[in-house]
C-alpha cells in the first residue's frame, strides 16, 4: 500500500469518506455523526445498582459502554456461567478509563469525570469539566472527556477534553478533593492521554491536529510536537492522523502506529520523530506496551478494501519483529491480562461497524474468542493489579 501520493489517494477514496466519517473529519456542530450514533435499544439494560453486596472477582475487566451511559464489569473466564457481571451508570457516552491502585476507576464521559468504586460497584462522584464543551451529546464527535490517565502517585488525574469544532484542553483533577485544579490548552480531539514514568510530563495525542501536546506538570506549559508520517494534506478530511500512544518502558519514547505501515517513535524531550516500518497493512487505532516493551496494536480494518488488509492485532517485539493475528470485525483499544498471556481487544470502535463485545486473544497460540458484552465497549481496565489500566 502506497500512501505517499495523498492527493490521488484522497480523490480515490472520496466515496469511502462519504460513508465512513469516523477518522476523516471533525463535526463542527458537536452533534453525533449519523453513522456513529449509538444504536437505540427497545429494552435497555438495567445497570447494577451497586452496593456492598456486589462481588468483583480478581481478573475482572471494566469496559466503557460508549453506546450507553454505563461501564460494564466483565468476567472473561465466564465463571458462574456469565461474562457480564452487571453495569453501573456513570454518565453519557463514556470514553477512556483509568484505574487507581485503591480500586477507584476514573471514567471520562461527556458530562464529567465519573469515579467508580470497583469493589462496591457504585459511582461515587461525577466531577464536572471547567471547559465549555457545549450541549451534552452522544456519538463520535461529542464534546467532553476522551483520553484519561493517572499520575504515578495517583494524586492527579489528567483528562483530554474535546471541544467540538475547536482545540481541546487537558484538565487536571485532584483525586483527593475531586475537583479540577488546572486547565491546559492542547490540540483537537485528544483521543489519548499518557504520563511519563516520573510524572513530570503528560502527553495528549490530538487526532485532528496531527500532534502530541507535551505538558510540563511543574508549570503547566504545553508544547506541540507534530506527528504526521504522511504529512498533513487533507486536514480534517485526512485519515492519516494519530490516534493512541504507548510510552516505551525502556526509555520513555512515545510510540504511535499508523496504517500497519509506519511506527512513529517520538522523543518527547527533543521533539524528534523517527519512523520504523510495520507490516499489518491496516488502519490502526489502539496501542499498549507490555512491561517488557512488547507493543500490541489494534488494526481496525481497511481504508480501501481493494488495497488494505482487514482487522488485526499486531504483536511487535522490542526488536521490531511482528506477528499479526487476524480479528473478526473492527476493534478499538487493547489491554493485557495481569500475567501478559492474554490480550483483550474492544469491539466498540469509534467509526461505523462496531460490535458489542470483546475479542479475547491467547497470545501464545493466537486463538481468538469473541465475547459478547456491553454496548459499544471502547476502553478496557483490568482489575486486580498487574495489567495496564487504560489504553
> Which CA distances in Å does 389 have to 97, 148, 161, 201, 250?
8, 10, 19, 18, 19
- Beta-carbon contacts of residue 370 (< 8 Å; ≥ 6 apart): 328, 347, 357, 358, 359, 360
Arithmetic mean of pLDDT, 283-303:
97
Domain assignment present for residue 298? The answer is yes
pLDDT digits (tens, 9 = 90+) for 41-83: 323 344 444 444 456 777 899 999 999 999 999 999 877 667 9
Q: Is the pLDDT of residue 314 over 70?
A: yes
Residue 54, pLDDT score: 54
Kindly state whether residue 115 falls inside one of the protein's structural domains: yes
Q: What is the mean pLDDT of residues 150-171?
A: 98
- For residue 387, being part of any structural domain is answered with no
Helix (H) or strand (E) holding 61, with range, is strand 61-65
The pLDDT value given to residue 191? 97
Residue of higher predicted confidence among 24 and 389: 24
Report the SS3 class of residue 279.
Answer: coil
Q: Which residues contact 93 (CB under 8 A, 6 or more apart)?
A: 38, 66, 67, 69, 109, 110, 137, 138, 139, 142, 144
What pLDDT is recorded for position 58? 75
pLDDT confidence band for 32 (50 / 70 / 90):
very low
Question: Please, which residues bridge with residue 201 across strands?
Answer: 216
pLDDT for the residue numbered 81 = 66
Beta strands in 75-168 (DSSP E): 84-89, 97-99, 104-108, 112-117, 122-128, 144-150, 156-162
Domain that includes residue 252, residue range: 6-37+48-382
Query: Could you tell me if residue 281 is inside a domain?
Result: yes
Predicted confidence band of residue 3 (pLDDT cuts 50, 70, 90): low
Q: What is the pLDDT of residue 278?
A: 98
C-alpha cell at 327: 480479528
pLDDT tens, 78-116? Answer: 776 679 999 999 999 999 999 999 999 999 999 999 999
Give domain status of residue 366, yes or no.
yes
Q: What is the mean pLDDT of residues 333-357?
A: 94
In a domain? residue 389: no
pLDDT bracket for residue 10 (50, 70, 90): very low
* pLDDT tens profile 240-251: 999 999 999 999
Element of type H or E holding 215: strand 211-216
Instruction: Write out the DSSP string of 286-326.
Output: EEEE-TTS-EEEEEEE-SSTTTS---EEEEE-TTS-EEEEE
CA distance 361 to 359: 6
H-type helices in the chain, by residue range?
6-12, 14-19
Cα angle for residues 159, 24, 20 (degrees, 5° grid):
110
Rounded to whole angstroms, the Cα distance separating 233 from 240 reads 9
User: Residue 351: what pLDDT?
Assistant: 83
Which is more confident, 276 or 50? 276
Can you give the CATH number for the domain in which 167 is found? Answer: 2.130.10.10
Average pLDDT of the chain is 88
Q: How far is CA 223 from the centre of its chain?
A: 22
What is the per-residue pLDDT for 43? 30
Q: Which residue has the higher pLDDT, 30 or 223?
A: 223
Name residue 214's beta-bridge partners: 203, 223
Helices first, then strands: H and E counts in the chain? 2, 28
User: What does the alpha-carbon distance between residue 49 and residue 87 come to, in Å, rounded to a whole number?
Assistant: 8
Average of per-residue pLDDT across 127-138: 97
Mean pLDDT for the stretch of residues 249-256: 98
Number of domains making up the chain: 1
350 is a domain residue:
yes
Cα gap 104→118, rounded to integer Å: 6
Report whether pLDDT(384) > 60.
yes
Q: Is residue 258 part of a domain?
A: yes
Give the whole-angstrom CA distance, residue 325 versus residue 348: 19
List the beta bridge partners of residue 171.
159, 183
Using DSSP, state whether 332 is helix, strand or coil.
coil
- Print burial letters for 209-241: b (CB count within 10 Å at least 16), e (below 16): bbbbbbbebeeeebebbebbbbeeebeeebbbb
> Could you report the per-residue pLDDT of 133-143, keeping only the tens digit for each?
999 999 999 99
Report the alpha-carbon distance of residue 373 to residue 87 in Å, rounded: 10
Q: What is the DSSP letter of 38?
A: P
Amino acid at each position: 500500500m502506497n500512501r505517499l501520493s495523498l492527493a490521488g489517494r484522497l480523490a480515490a477514496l472520496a466515496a469511502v469518506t462519504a460513508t465512513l466519517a469516523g477518522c476523516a473529519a471533525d463535526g463542527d456542530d458537536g452533534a453525533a455523526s449519523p453513522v456513529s450514533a449509538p444504536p437505540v435499544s427497545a429494552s435497555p439494560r438495567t445497570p447494577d445498582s451497586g452496593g456492598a453486596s456486589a462481588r468483583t472477582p480478581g481478573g475482572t475487566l471494566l469496559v466503557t459502554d460508549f453506546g450507553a451511559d454505563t461501564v460494564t464489569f466483565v468476567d472473561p473466564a465466564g465463571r458462574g456461567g456469565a461474562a457480564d457481571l452487571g453495569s453501573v451508570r456513570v454518565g453519557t457516552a463514556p470514553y477512556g478509563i483509568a484505574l487507581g491502585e485503591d480500586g477507584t476507576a476514573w471514567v471520562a464521559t461527556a458530562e464529567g469525570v465519573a469515579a467508580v468504586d470497583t469493589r462496591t460497584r457504585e459511582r461515587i462522584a461525577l466531577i464536572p469539566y471547567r471547559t465549555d464543551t457545549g450541549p451534552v451529546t452522544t456519538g463520535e464527535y461529542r464534546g467532553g472527556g476522551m483520553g484519561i490517565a493517572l499520575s504515578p502517585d495517583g494524586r492527579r488525574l489528567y483528562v483530554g477534553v474535546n471541544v467540538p469544532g475547536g482545540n481541546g484542553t487537558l484538565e487536571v483533577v485532584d483525586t483527593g478533593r475531586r475537583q479540577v485544579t488546572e486547565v491546559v490548552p492542547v490540540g483537537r480531539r485528544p483521543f489519548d492521554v499518557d504520563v511519563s514514568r516520573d510524572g513530570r510530563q503528560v502527553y495528549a495525542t490530538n487526532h485532528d491536529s496531527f500532534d502530541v501536546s507535551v505538558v510540563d506538570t511543574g508549570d503547566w506549559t504545553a508544547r506541540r510536537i507534530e506527528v504526521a508520517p504522511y504529512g498533513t494534506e487533507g486536514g480534517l478530511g485526512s485519515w492519516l492522523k494519530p490516534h493512541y500512544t504507548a510510552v516505551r518502558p525502556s526509555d520513555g519514547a512515545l510510540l504511535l502506529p499508523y496504517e500497519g505501515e509506519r511506527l512513529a517513535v517520538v522523543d518527547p524531550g527533543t521533539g524528534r520523530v523517527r519512523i520504523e516500518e510495520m507490516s499489518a497493512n491496516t488502519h490502526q487505532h489502539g496501542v499498549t506496551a507490555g512491561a517488557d516493551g512488547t507493543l500490541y496494536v489494534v488494526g481496525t480494518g481497511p481504508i480501501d478494501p481493494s488495497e488494505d488488509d482487514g482487522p488485526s492485532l499486531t504483536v511487535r517485539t522490542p526488536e521490531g519483529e511482528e506477528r499479526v493475528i487476524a480479528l473478526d470485525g473492527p476493534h478499538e483499544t487493547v489491554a493485557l491480562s495481569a500475567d501478559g498471556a492474554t490480550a483483550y481487544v474492544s469491539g466498540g470502535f469509534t467509526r461505523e461497524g462496531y460490535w458489542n463485545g470483546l475479542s479475547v486473544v491467547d497470545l501464545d497460540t493466537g486463538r481468538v474468542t469473541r465475547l459478547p458484552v456491553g454496548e459499544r465497549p471502547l476502553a478496557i481496565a483490568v482489575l486486580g493489579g498487574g495489567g495496564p489500566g487504560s489504553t
